[in-house]
Structure 1
Amino acid sequence: MTGGESLLGRDDELRGLCDRLGGIDARGCAIGLVGEAGVGKSALQAAVVNEARARGFTLLTARGSESETHLPFASLHQMLWPILSRSANLPVRQRDALLSGFGMSDVAAPDPFLIALAVLELVVDAARQAPVLLSLDDMHWMDEPSVDVAAFVARRIEGERVMLLASVRAESTLLADNPSMEWVSVAGIDESSASALVDGRAPDLTPALRERVLREAGGNPLALLEFPTAMRAGRLGWSELSEDLPMTVRLERAFATRVEHLPAATRALLTVAALDDGTDLAEMLAAAGLVLGAAVDLEASQPALDEGLLISDGASAHFRHPLVRSALRHATPLAQRQAVHAALAQILSGPHPDRAAWHRASSTTAPDEHVAAELERAAQTAVRRGALVSAVAWLQRAAALSPDLPARGARLLSAAEIAFELGRFSQVEQMKRQVAGMPLLPRDQSRLAWLEGVFDDGSSIDPAETRRLISLAGQALRDDDTDLAAQLLVGAARRSWWSDPGADVRQEIVLAAQQASLPDDDPRLLAIRAMSESHERASFVISRLSQWPADVHGRPQAAGLLGIAAFCTGDFAHAIGFLSTPVEALRSQGRLSLLAEALAIRAWAAIYLGAFDLARSADEAMRLADETGQTLWAATARIAIAVLGALRGVRDSDAALLGEAERAALRSPIATSSLLAGVQFARGMGDLSAARYEEAYRQLRRVFDPGDPAFHRVQQVWALSYLADAAVHTGRQDEARSLLATVQRITGDDPSPAARIALEYSRAVLAGDADAEALFRSALDGGGRRLPWHRARAELAYGTWLRRHRRIVESRVPLRAARRTFDVLGARAWAERADQELRATGEGGWQPTISPSELLSPQEAQIAQLAAQGLSNREIAERLYLSHRTISSHLYRIFPKLGITSRAQLGAALSNGADPRTSGSDSGSDTVM
């Protein structure tokens, strides 16, 4: 180490952290120091900062403060201050979002993820000149928007010359579930180091006091320094430092005793400093003067400085240790605290109205509509700045001070709606419980009903909840609030999709939607009908969908609803088209939670259609859903990834993904939902690909059993052809034919595109010898004829049937075509099945090709595609919420994988996979080996 003396008793910890500094050129890292108050986390962190300074690092530091937790982006502003001038070089949208977060721009409601991306880019850009240390001390007291940005950055610095070092209290759960964080437990120092520290600080202690200090402190360095002072002063009895008390309490008591003997003006200043959410010393002195009723000047701070409680440069002031602030806050009576807050509100009302509003609210416990309205306006300001977490806190406080109960409920609902956008499940549930017993206006009653189950995408196992939404929608229609009625009915329809409440309830949803007098092609109406009566209304919905252009006239929200309508009716081609519009719009707007949902649904539409390259966007959907706390959509994406793995022939490697998805389903009210059906479909596909036909049939059969939690009235149709495959190989044709007949009744005479493909294929493979050939030809010429995956499956089944009927030469043509298509699509397991059938005819010599999509990870493939389209690294980074240097690193790895050396070659390399309908890669003769 080169940065100065090592800490007493911390050689091992400091050496390990400094080693990470030394390896920063090879790998960035995010490390959290966790331990009890006073154990030395801050000292250890300061030592690392000094070492980093000596090594030439750029230092970006911030320290959390208990009184600043309500100030959005306060800690982030501290951290970025040394490099904030570089924001002028950011892309315009990122720069404006970041400055708006700091109140330095008027951009309305910037997305928090866009702010986080701007921070990432600033940090990474700084790291080009020198490695960067982000030091975040006392993160447990930082404002939540700043913590969210830190979490975002921590996930994305592994490939950068950046080290994030944070310290948190042992009881904190901040970033606990962030897989990018490496946690280092900081415990008390060893006995010899503790003895040396006490002897150096208090060499005159009597043996009895020395022994007591060592025992009470338990190796806690701050206690070892503070307990001797308190004990020697005679202001603490033995019982007051009882080791039965938590260390934090014992330390606070030790600090509190050091304030009692100070002058009144100094005590007033310290009390103000403990409750202030700023560090401006003049501000503190002015407020202390109001509290004391007499002027308080700079001299009042000197005793606090001499006592080692306060640190000041003459313009700003802060406590030497956060526990001093905590001790003073806890020791100050409520009435005095309120007086201090009132004084601060008066001082701040001109220059800082939002801070003044918070202090004014803290100065009273009685309901006050004026103060509540002021807080509500401050919350609106926080939303405009992109500080949604802070807005929730302000609205909750506004609700608590609302004298009118309906107004209180409305403000809590506004807070809950924002918390939902943030993915804060527990917060939403808590606020819903608070509102449940309040008198609400009719519209707010409907808002509360809509919030029920929103984290499960509106799923519920109770039909009564769905009927309640229908009833509230009826009330909204009577109040001429068509938009609210439509919103409620979309929620009811989502419930009917995830967990079937029965035909009667589904019909009630559709009838209520018809009473709304929406146009027949209204996206909301089409989504309601598609989700509620996917089969019964399929032809009506699909006919109306065809009247809409793919871009839906630039209306992303409408396009999303049309995409859902198309998906639920089995019109997957239209679903992909419609969902691509909101995907791009949501990406550009930075609305990542909704983007994750759109990507997940589109990935499944692509899977069912056989567009597997597009379906790989499930990987991005999973990452975004995890990051935005959307368990349902993360599980949906994991299942899609597992299906793609099964098609590639990855043997059981995705079992963990399916296990996570299944647990997510069983933990929520959607245990009987589409999610479990998807898990069974993925497992069945894995078993089919591995030729484990008994297992495949067992897994898929559950989707068709109304008594099984995995039953789904729509997904059984889409799984039918795969069940038929398993039935043929296990001798269960009769049972499968019975299920085929049931599905035919369900889908009616005008089935959807997906249902038609499934029915045509299943009729052929389950047919008797007399009818099979004609039905195979119908399947080949039917709904899947222009869809390579579905046509190849029919060709494989037909070729297999021909070979087993000893029509060897005829069988080779469809089997070759199937093998070629599967090979190009990357469905390796299925290509191998087709090749096995061809080998059984006596033909061999095939070598599988490797497509570009197999060489690249899903994220690499996405980056390569965007680069091939001509986007710059910065443009790609903004779309994918990564740093531009990360994009550069990915491309550096992509080029050799594709055998190219320049960006200009990407397009040709990515299109190297031949069209399965035109490729001649294995169209050789009928040569027999």
Structure 2
Amino acid sequence: MGEHTGDLGAVTGPEPDPGEPFVGRDAELGRLFRAVEPASADPVMMLVGAMGMGKSVLLDRAVRRAEANGARVLRAEGSESEANLTFSALHQLLRPLPAEVVDGLPEGQRTAIRDAFGTGPATHRRTSAPDQLLIGVAVLSLLSALGDRQPVLMVLDDAQWFDRASLDALLFVARRLEGERVTMLIAARDGDHLARFDRHMPTLVLEPLDDAAANRLLDRQPKSPTGRTRARILDQAGGNPLALVELARAATARDAATGLPSAGPLPLTDHLERIFAARLDGLPAGTTRALLLLAAMDSVDSPVAVTAGLPDAEGDAWLPAERAGLVRRTGRDVRFRHPLVRSAVYHAASAGARREAHLTLAELLRDEPDRRAWHLAAACPGPDAAVSAELERTADRARRRGGHAAAAKALQRAAELAPRREDSARLLVRAASAAVFTGDLAWVEELTAAARARTDDPSLLASAAVQAGRLAVLTLRHTTVFSWLTDAAEAWADSEPAAALELLGDAAVARFYSGEDAQRRRIQDILGRLPEDASSAGLRTWVRAVSDPFGDRDEFVSLLPRLAAEAEARPERLTTVGIMAWLLDETPQAVRAFDRAFDRWELQGALPEGLGGAVAWAYAERGRWDQAREACARITAVGRAAGLGHAAACAATVEATVLAYQGDAPAARARADEALALIDPLESRSVAVYARRALGAAAAAEGAYETAYDQLRLAFTADGAPVHYHASFPLLADLAAAAVRCGRREDAAGTVEHCARALGDTASPRLRALVSRARGLLAHPEDAEPYFRSALADPVLEHWPFERAQTLLDLAEWLRRRRRIAEARAPLTDALETFRRLGARPWIERARAESRAAGLDVTDTPPDALAALSPQQQQIIRLAARGLTNREIGERLFLSPRTVGSHLYRSFPKLGVTARSQLRDLIDGALASAGHRE
């Protein structure tokens, strides 16, 4: 589909002269040429325009330029008929690569690629989908390895028809090509599908030709139209180059008065399709049959073309079609000149002829069950139980390969063909379950509505509601979604209480994101109507803990060990337990649950779970900042791939906070601003508060305490109440620290006391310590010490090392200012060691300055060498010091091995090392000198 000779900017005859300039497209061609130059600043370029605007020929010119520069070109062309086949576009792109290139991948990546293509030895036995992100990393590794040999150009044409699994993998790669010798050109039609592309991707939009360019294009045609005919063509084409060429061709093929379609409201493509269809008149029967078979088959069906009865490409049967401008022959290959030609040939045939063509192909594709099933479905004039069953099996195979969109489409078509309404409803609910993992809420809602229209079965209807709710909770419309979920839960409370409880579990997540207090009461009211039994105890606890974690905190904490033991063999339930533990400020238990879950769990599909950001927050609070950023990378990748901006926003706030703690304030602000741009702060109070926390930390790291206070104060209302019932409280101590440095002590004290009263006796030890620290900072100097001592009294607070080190530093500063210098030295030493271990650069400098003022001999130690590196470089150095290869580091951080190597190359001189083997000694020596092990 990529070599569309009709999709021209300006050509004369069927084959454009490579040296001839485009009419009206010089600027666009120049920009594409710059994009494929070796030193291009844009590794990715989107080419967008309506059908016929010249996208494919522009790509062809760019390909020739890249090949002349020594690039290796990989090309994939979307096909409407292949959009349902999992990883078909990715397979087309990578198929030319020799087997040894894939064999050179690490085992996990190699297995992921082979499973995706259905060639893995155990693909048919898999019960879980391959890791979508690992597939993306594998493709990135392949391209990076190729780029080490020669420049690589990827050309993705008609990307609007790529299957979803391929598109997700390729867009994952597109966001990580900086520094690689790889360029990606993506051509797609404009329309709603563009929402799936990154909005920040450089985009070249092909607009209609202006009148002058359109006239020049007509002048170049073999028989340039004139007079009234030219005026009609210009009016009808509307600046579309393909329309200008084809209407001119039609006008000269017969009398202009009859050769052109009449003016009317039909879209331009319909007019063009009529033009192509008119050229079928008078063709020999053998040619017509060959054209229809070619139109009915997928491009990947071409190996069966000869046995399907298609004439050889060099046979005379194709000559009439070629003369009519319908096909192009290149060697042994026959292609339609444009997608509209294929569409015209297919739809001009009778229903019976189309059915016969698909049945012929299905018979020849017995060894390709998925393609065979779709051809059988296309041949069905009405319901067919056998074909419906074939499609259901196709869906199962697609799901095992991670193709959730393909599985949902197959199940949707199977439902259409199912003779019994009950079976149709069941298949639609299954389709909705698969579609959930695509992130396409509108599609899930469409499928569930169709299921409701086909059945009165309460269990099926309730299941449909649960599927829709599972995805809806991850969108940005928290208020609307909460109302929908609770209304549905209330409706099913009596007849399907289990489904009602699941819906309420999702509603609790929506309540967490929105932070609206009235929603807590609504949840409690509905929960009170549902029966209590042992099987629902865990989910009931989840609903209560998520919607109101401090209401019955002691009870929830006492249940955690039992819930964790019961979930030991169920990693997804362990994750749920971990999230509850994090909400309750039982961070050590949360991290243990997450660690055990990730040791046992291959991620199921690409959808982030509700409150998935809790994983990253728990690791961040525990001082495992590298793992927190790894979790953020995964959440960001899957959130973007699924079109779930809220998930990406959650991850951005955690990473922004860690970046601020590490001293990279500009990067922290950029990530926090990105999060705020993705959400409505009134709809998602939790993310808004997290973003303010990060922005406040970034400002504090730079010593801009007035700005820090203003940002942190936005996490509380004008009268000092928390904006969010969970996210606001951890900011109290930082708010107080900023307040004392910018003269806002009185306002901050009112906020701290308001929140302390709101927490009452329900506060966790961590929050009690933070409130005590805040009170110590804000108190009169003579009254501060008991508050600082109270904030450090509980040994459990060591599990929040950064917060504890901040309090130690506050206490030490207070002691030194009271001239109790000897007492200040121990907490100063402890705080400095912790800050060094964490890599908290701004706090290291502050603790050093205080230590020198206290008479301590503070010398630069190896950890400070890392201070010259960016947080990402520090992360890479630490992983390399643990013995991970570039590829293994890339898998963890979703980077290519080449990018990892580039960071290491730039970091070694700053660290004073020349070999990878020295990194472990550098890191271990630094930790030993600090008195800690990492």
Q: Aligned to 1:515, what secondary structure does the other structure show? A: coil
Distance 1:88 1:799, change over 3 A: closer
Q: Find 2:152's aligned residue among 118, 122, 132.
A: 132
CA drift of 1:902 comes to 1.2
Aligned-residue offset at 1:568: 0.9
Within 1, Cα distance between the matches of 2:566 and 2:701?
Answer: 37
Identity %: 34
For 1:375, the equivalent position in structure 2 comes to: 391
Q: Which digits, 9 at most, give the CA deviation of each residue in 1:585-624, with x for residues without a partner?
A: 55x65855449965x3233224445555554446524632
Other-structure match for 2:197: 177
Q: Secondary structure at the match of 2:689?
A: helix
Distance verdict in 2 for CA 1:707–1:730, change over 3 Å: closer
The match for 1:922 is: none
Which residue in the other structure is 1:425 paired with? 441
Find the aligned partners of 2:600 and 2:756 in 1 and give their Cα distance: 43
1:674 pairs with 2:691:
no
**Hey, what does 2:591 align to over in structure 1?**
576
| Residue 804 (structure 2) pairs with residue 791 (structure 1) | yes
Q: Secondary structure at the match of 1:903?
A: coil
Task: Map residues 616-627 of structure 1 onto 2, 5 A cutoff.
Answer: 616-617=629-630, 619-621=632-634, 623-624=636-637, 625-627=639-641
Change (3 A) 1:214 1:129: same
Does the C-alpha gap of structure 1 residues 28 and 886 become closer, same or farther in structure 2, counting only changes over 3 Å? farther
Q: Match of 1:78?
A: 92
> Distance in 2 between the 1:419 and 1:63 partners?
24
Shift in CA distance, 315/799, structure 1 to aligned 2, threshold 3 Å: closer
Question: How far apart in 2 are the matches of 1:826 and 1:297?
Answer: 69
Describe how 1:878-917 pairs up with structure 2 within 5 A.
Answer: 878-911=891-924, 914=927
Give, in whole Å, the separation in 1 of the partners of 2:643 and 2:397: 25
1:875 to 884, 888, 895: 888
Residues 131 and 162, structure 1, Cα contact 8 Å, conserved in 2? yes
Separation of aligned partners in 2, 1:555 and 1:440: 33
Aligned equivalents of 1:160, 1:672: Cα separation in 2: 37
Are residues 887 and 140 of structure 1, via their aligned partners in 2, closer, same or farther at CA, if it must alter by over 3 Å?
A: same
Distance 1:555 1:621 in 2: 21
Does the 8 A contact of 2:745 with 2:778 survive in 1? no
Contact kept, 8 Å, 1:622 with 1:638, in 2: the verdict is no
| Partner-residue secondary structure (3-state), 2:805 | helix
| 1:641 to 2:641 alignment | no
More displaced stretch, 736-745 vs 352-361: 736-745
Relative to structure 1, is the Cα distance of residues 403 and 23 closer, same or farther in structure 2, using a 3 angstrom cutoff? same
Range that drifts further, 646-655 or 319-328: 646-655
Q: Which residue is 1:94 aligned to?
A: 109
What letter corresponds to residue 151 of structure 1 in structure 2? L
1:924 corresponding residue in structure 2: none
Secondary structure class of the residue paired with 1:163? strand
Are the aligned partners of 2:131 and 2:605 in contact in 1 as well (CA < 8 Å)?
A: yes
Q: Are 2:882 and 1:865 aligned? A: no
- Tell me the equivalent position of 2:14: none
Shift in Å, 1:763: 5.2
- Asked if structure 2 preserves the Cα contact closer than 8 Å seen for 1:281 and 1:317, the reply is no
Per the TM alignment, residue 220 of structure 1 is displaced from its structure 2 partner at its CA by: 4.7
* TM-aligned CA deviation for residue 68 of structure 1: 3.0
Q: Does 1:57 align with 2:71?
A: yes
In the TM superposition, 1:479-490 aligns within 5 A as 487=502, 490=505
Query: Is the aligned partner of 1:248 residue 2:269?
Result: yes
Bigger shift: residues 30-39 or 296-305: 296-305
The higher-RCO structure (CA 8 Å, 6+ apart) is: 2
* Structure 1 equivalent of residue 406 of structure 2: 390
Deviation at 1:416, TM superposition (A): 2.3
Q: The residue matched to 1:31 in structure 2 has which SS?
A: strand
Structure 1 pair 269–104 and aligned structure 2 pair: CA distance change class (3 A): same
Contiguous gaps of at least 5 residues in structure 2: 1-16
Please, what TM-score do these two structures have when normalized by structure 1?
Answer: 0.82
Give matches, 1:708-719, under 5 Å. Answer: 711-719=723-731
Q: Provide, for residues 726-764 of structure 1, a one-character-per-residue CA deviation record: whole Å limited to 9, x for no partner.
A: 6665224763564265145241xxx53323422443454
Q: Residue 10 of structure 2 corresponds to which residue in structure 1?
A: none
Amino acid at match of 2:142: L
**Helix, strand or coil: the match of 2:130?**
coil
Alpha-carbon distance in structure 1 between the residues aligned to 2:806 and 2:490: 43
Cα distance, 1:779–1:314 mapped onto 2, change above 3 Å: closer
Q: Which of these residues, 765, 768, 785, is aligned with residue 753 of structure 1?
A: 765
Structure 2 CA distance for partners of 1:104 and 1:805, relative to 1, 3 Å? closer
* Whole-Å separation in 1 of the counterparts to 2:657 and 2:203: 34
Distance 2:197 2:169 in 1: 15
Aligned match of 2:550? 535
Residue 867 of structure 1 deviates from its aligned partner by 2.0
Write the letter of the residue equivalent to 1:561: T
AA partner of residue 204 (structure 2): V
Q: Which residue of 2 aligns with 1:271?
A: 292
Secondary structure of the 2:405 match is helix
Kindly provide the amino acid, as one letter, of the partner of residue 251 in structure 1: L
Deviates most, 498-507 or 370-379? 498-507
Question: Which secondary structure state, in structure 1, belongs to the residue aligned with residue 282 of structure 2?
Answer: coil
What SS does the corresponding residue of 1:71 show, helix, strand or coil? Answer: coil
| CA distance in structure 2 between the partners assigned to 1:210 and 1:142 by the alignment | 37
The Cα shift of 1:23 comes to 1.5
Cα shift at 1:343: 3.6
What is the CA distance between 1:517 and its match in structure 2?
A: 1.1
Name the CA distance, whole Å, in 2 between partners of 1:510 and 1:801: 49
Q: Give the secondary-structure state (helix, strand or coil) at the position aligned to 2:202.
A: strand
Q: Which amino acid aligns with 2:591?
A: I
Q: How many residues align?
A: 894
Residues 96-115 of structure 1 aligned to structure 2 (within 5 Å): 96-105=111-120, 106-107=122-123, 108=126, 109-115=129-135
Rate the CA distance shift 1:703–1:384 in 2: closer, same or farther, 3 A.
same
Cross-structure match for 1:44: 58
Residues 277-316 of structure 1: pairs in structure 2 closer than 5 A: 277-278=298-299, 300-312=317-329
1:408 equivalent among 424, 427, 437 = 424
Gaps of 5+ in 1: 290-295, 920-929
Contact 1:190/1:219, CA 8 A, preserved across alignment:
yes
Deviation at 1:125, TM superposition (A): 3.1
2:794 matched to 1:782?
A: yes
Compared with structure 1, are the counterparts of its residues 761 and 39 closer, same or farther at alpha carbon in structure 2 (3 Å cutoff)? Answer: closer
Distance 1:156 1:720, change over 3 A: closer
When normalised by structure 2's length, the TM-score is 0.82
Give the whole-Å Cα distance in 2 for the aligned partners of 1:5 and 1:732: 72
Give the match's secondary structure for 2:97: helix
Query: How far does residue 383 in structure 1 lie from its aligned partner after superposition?
Result: 1.5
Contact 1:345/1:356 (8 A) holds in 2: yes
1:151–1:175 CA contact under 8 A, matched in 2: no
Change (3 A) 1:694 1:350: closer
RMSD: 4.5
Inter-CA distance 901–70: structure 2 relative to 1 (3 Å threshold) = same
Aligned partner of 1:149 in structure 2 is 169
Asked if 1:227 is matched to 2:240, the reply is no
CA separation of 1:885/1:765 partners in 2, compared to 1, >3 Å: closer, same or farther?
closer
Q: 1:393 deviation in Å?
A: 1.5
Farther off after superposition, 315-324 or 825-834: 825-834
Contact 1:83 1:122 (C-alpha < 8 Å) held by counterparts:
no
SS at 2:95 equivalent: helix
Partner in structure 2 of residue 163 of structure 1: 183
With 624-633 and 822-831 compared, the bigger mean Cα shift is at 822-831
Distance 1:416 1:894 in 2: 48
